[in-house]
Amino acid sequence: MKAVLLDGFGGLDVLKTGEIEKPRPKEDEVLVRVAATSINRPDLVQREGKYPAPPGDSEILGLEVAGIVEELGPGVKGWKTGDRVMGLVGGGGYAEYAVAYANHLMPIPDNMSFEEAACVCESYITAFLNVFMIGGLTDGQTAIFHGGGGGVNTAAMQLAKALTPAVKTIVTAHPDKIERVRQLGADLVIDYTESPDFTDHVKEFTGKKGVDLVLDHVGAKYLKPNMNSLAYKGKLVIIGVISGIKAELNLALMMVKRQQIIGSVLRSRPVPEKAEIIAEFTKTALPKFADRTIVPIIEKVFPLDQVAEAHRMMEEDKHFGKIVLKVG
């Protein structure tokens, strides 16, 4: 089968397309003929040699797939060959075929394209897990989502609007993306190039109360303003550390305000735990895709052999929403 292979670790030049043996599904696994996948920032980090695949998972890049069930492994129930599916994979998405656990798959709604379906699993499930299942966001609360325009950020905004319409959202964004973030429904958009310490904006918007939830992938640079922006009993959920891993924390403030800092990843969670998350997402959020309340935002679709250009677009951070690779 055709797949994207790494010629070592490093820059865009290590991405090569080549032929590799087609995987075979093991017990409780499904072989998917991949129609489309998408680019996620962990793919870039893995390409650089800093984020290896979990033991037992494919070392091929790609954390989500959309396609058609090709073959069922032993013990699989609930799926049949020919089913249109989308799902999380521990690796292997940048290929014509990939294996996924049967309980890590979801049906693709009839009115959704493979390219749209390829956007759902990594970004929207990550957002759903951390905003709702962990963050506990409910109607009437206020949340900060950092990095307006990225896949998880736009997913979080769309999910918040669809599932908790009375929630207020504050989004930090690059000036080039501010207008599109506003159009997506943000209640306050902060230009992070002008206001790297966004605390005053948050306090003014919330009447000095602060926010109930911060979803952050920036890390060290934002720890202080994140904590200063949190309300009493507020939660900071950290899902990335692109600005660094070490920062000073005011423990006294955290104690007095009974704040929580929660670290979260999706890829390395145990198989049964992922299955539970996906089942909850399927029940709660997937109907919003089926009725087109939520439509995945696609910046551009690249053919598989232009994977380097797709990675370049993400590196330059000029995209809004998702970057898709068309495979089959």
- E strand or H helix at 261, and its extent? strand 260-263
Instruction: Tally Cβ neighbours within 10 Å of residue 245.
Output: 7
pLDDT given for residue 247 in this prediction: 95
Alpha-carbon span 51 to 179, nearest angstrom: 33
pLDDT given for residue 82 in this prediction: 98
**Environment class of residue 108 by beta-carbon count within 10 Å: exposed (0-12), middle (13-18) or buried (19+)?**
buried
Alpha-carbon span 170 to 267, nearest angstrom: 27
pLDDT given for residue 318 in this prediction: 85
Whether residue 99 is predicted with pLDDT greater than 90 in this model: the reply is yes
C-alpha distances in Å from residue 267, one per residue of 53, 54, 88, 245, 249: 9, 8, 9, 19, 27
pLDDT given for residue 261 in this prediction: 98
DSSP 8-state secondary structure symbol assigned to residue 129: I
pLDDT given for residue 23 in this prediction: 97
- List the domains of the chain with CATH numbers: 2-119+269-326 (3.90.180.10), 124-263 (3.40.50.720)
Mean confidence (pLDDT) of the chain? 96
Alpha-carbon span 272 to 62, nearest angstrom: 20
Please list the residues that pair with 101 across neighbouring strands.
29
End-to-end distance of the chain based on CA atoms, in angstroms? 11
Cα-atom radius of gyration of the chain, to the nearest Å?
Answer: 20
As a whole-number percent, the residues of the chain with pLDDT over 90 amount to: 95
pLDDT given for residue 322 in this prediction: 97
Whether residue 195 is predicted with pLDDT greater than 90 in this model: the reply is no
pLDDT given for residue 149 in this prediction: 87
Mean pLDDT confidence for 173-199: 94
Nearest partner of 33 among 82, 64, 67, 71, judged by Cα = 67
How confident is the model over 52-69, as pLDDT tens digits?
A: 998 889 999 999 999 999
Whether residue 127 is predicted with pLDDT greater than 90 in this model: the reply is yes
Q: How many residues does the chain have?
A: 328
Whether residue 328 is predicted with pLDDT greater than 90 in this model: the reply is no
Whether 300 and 324 have beta carbons less than 8 Å apart is answered as yes
pLDDT given for residue 6 in this prediction: 96
Q: Is residue 165 helix, strand or coil?
A: coil
Whether residue 147 is predicted with pLDDT greater than 90 in this model: the reply is no
Whether residue 300 is predicted with pLDDT greater than 90 in this model: the reply is yes
As a whole-number percent, the residues of the chain with pLDDT over 70 amount to: 100
Whether residue 39 is predicted with pLDDT greater than 90 in this model: the reply is yes
Q: Taken in order 237, 55, 36, 103, is the CA torsion positive or negative? A: negative
